[in-house]
Structure 1
């Protein structure tokens, strides 16, 4: 009995160890060294924020029956790789009536389907309303969905990843 316990423990260990490994050779390799920032963190953050907010407004422009646009003034930074961050924010588009999310998704898809470098993913949210994600391969992305307030469409955004210095903590709102 004692001998079988001695055999079982290594077998269980090896099974657990190999169960966590992968045979997928198509995974992208992580860079050996993190990216080096090309400018100060503040400059990188402002540039990422400006681009992301500009695209938010481009998306808002195609929302049918829009009556006003309320862009968040500030966002937050999130890690997206070793010594990298993303700026994340959002915009609410107020519509004249309750938004027809099928029409919103169709309008966004039409506006972005011919743009090079963008991926479109249409789906339904947890209550069955149409939503759409548009994103780039470097992490820039926008989720367009029904807002939590009446007569709103919400655009959640995240910038492309950008390099920050090793000592950068990046907390707070930007």
Structure 2
């Protein structure tokens, strides 16, 4: 019978030792989590600022007198991996008149031609419209579509990936 009383006492002693050992270690909820969270907020803010600046430069390649209105989409988070996210946003321009697609894309290419970190490629959307994809080696991407049928220019922006998760919204 004494062996049965010994087992709960031994388990209790092991738990007490484990808790004592853990008490001296770093806290899992102390400042590293707070610092990490603020670092993630800074990473997100910086990524959105950088992507927003390029997004604005693209929009400004269209002459003011040809743009009748502009709408900016809020930034949202997209997953890059389990531990990284990116911000996605955009601008929609309403045109007063149609804009030749080739010359619009050429103006954008010209705006970024001096910066060798950018590459530009044209391709087709799922509906067959021509679009321009501009990307930077850091992982930033910008997709521009001029739609003369609806007199709309869509600029979709995707920042580089940074530490975080979709729970950070």
TM-score (norm 2): 0.67
Task: Give the equivalent residue in structure 1 for 2:53.
Answer: 54
Are residues 169 and 79 of structure 1, via their aligned partners in 2, closer, same or farther at CA, if it must alter by over 3 Å? closer
Are residues 86 and 148 of structure 1, via their aligned partners in 2, closer, same or farther at CA, if it must alter by over 3 Å? farther
Once the 2 structures are TM-superposed, how far is the Cα of residue 106 of structure 1 from its aligned partner? Answer: 1.3
Do the aligned partners of 2:71 and 2:91 also contact (CA within 8 Å) in 1? Answer: yes
**Bigger helix fraction:** 2
CA–CA distance in 1 between the matches of 2:141 and 2:133?
7
Task: Give the equivalent residue in structure 1 for 2:70.
Answer: 69
Do the aligned partners of 2:129 and 2:147 also contact (CA within 8 Å) in 1? Answer: no
Task: Give the equivalent residue in structure 2 for 1:40.
Answer: 39
CA–CA distance in 2 between the matches of 1:39 and 1:137?
26
**Consecutive aligned runs of 4 or more in structure 1 exceeding 6 Å deviation:** none
Task: Give the equivalent residue in structure 2 for 1:170.
Answer: 167
Aligned residues: 132
Once the 2 structures are TM-superposed, how far is the Cα of residue 128 of structure 1 from its aligned partner? Answer: 4.1
Give ranges in structure 2 of 5+ residues lacking alignment. 1-35
Q: For the pair shown, which has the larger CA radius of gyration, 1 or 2?
A: 2
1:104 equivalent in alignment to 2:104: yes
The alignment's C-alpha RMSD in Å is 2.5
